[in-house]
Amino acid sequence: MKEEKDKQVQKSSKQISQAVETARDLPVFLPATDIYEKEDALLVACDLPGVDEKSLEITLEDDLLTITGTQDLSEPEGHELLHRGYLSGIYRRSFTLLTEVDRDKIKATISNGVLKLELPKSEQARPKKIQVTAG
């Protein structure tokens, strides 16, 4: 158990996901993520440096949210690498939401390498105030 955990130690400040091996010869990282809950929505913020809107895929299957983004893999041509502090590859992470989400109203924006997702809760999942009447 402990050994297993050690294998997942952060490398070059990105956490490498090792659950499944990939077909493509690219490392897969877990992006650092914040998840907030408001009364009427879930807010997700995800660090995805080097990923633009075209190389990003977000899916919601049942209540499994999956974010996959491929980083820009280009490197300067005709240059020699002097120092490698980070690897480039694929960011991928899944979350089980545990909340009913209104699928038609999900908003996703990416700017400056940060993905922001707003997942509005469905009517049933929102807290409801119950009026108590004195009888």
Partner 1 sequence: MFGPELINWGLDPFQGVRGLRREMGRLFDQYLDAEPYPPVNIWASGDEAVVKAELPGVDPKDVEITVKDSVVSLSGERKAEEPAEGVVCHRCERGSGSFSRSFSLPFAVDREKVKASFANGVLTITLPRAEESKPRKIAITAE
Contact 60, 106 (CB under 8 A): yes
Least distance CB 82 / partner 1 (angstroms) = 4
Of residues 74-133, those binding partner 1 (CB under 8 A): 75-76, 78-86, 110, 112-114
Residue with tokens 């908003």: 107
Q: Which amino acid is at 86?
A: Y
User: What are the backbone angles phi and psi of residue 12, rounded to the nearest 5°?
Assistant: 40, 50
Residue closer to partner 1 (CB basis): 76 or 135: 76
CA atoms in the 13 A half-sphere facing the CB of 4: 2
Q: How many residues bind partner 1 (CB under 8 A)?
A: 39
* Residue 8 binds to partner 1 (criterion: CB under 8 A): no
Coil, strand or helix: which one is 77? coil
Least distance CB 126 / partner 1 (angstroms) = 13
CB-based contacts of 73, cutoff 8 Å, min separation 6? 26, 88, 89
- Select the residue interacting with partner 1 from 28, 51, 67, 90 (CB under 8 A): 51
**Interacting residues with partner 1 (CB under 8 A):** 6, 9-14, 32-39, 43, 45, 47-52, 72, 75-76, 78-86, 110, 112-114
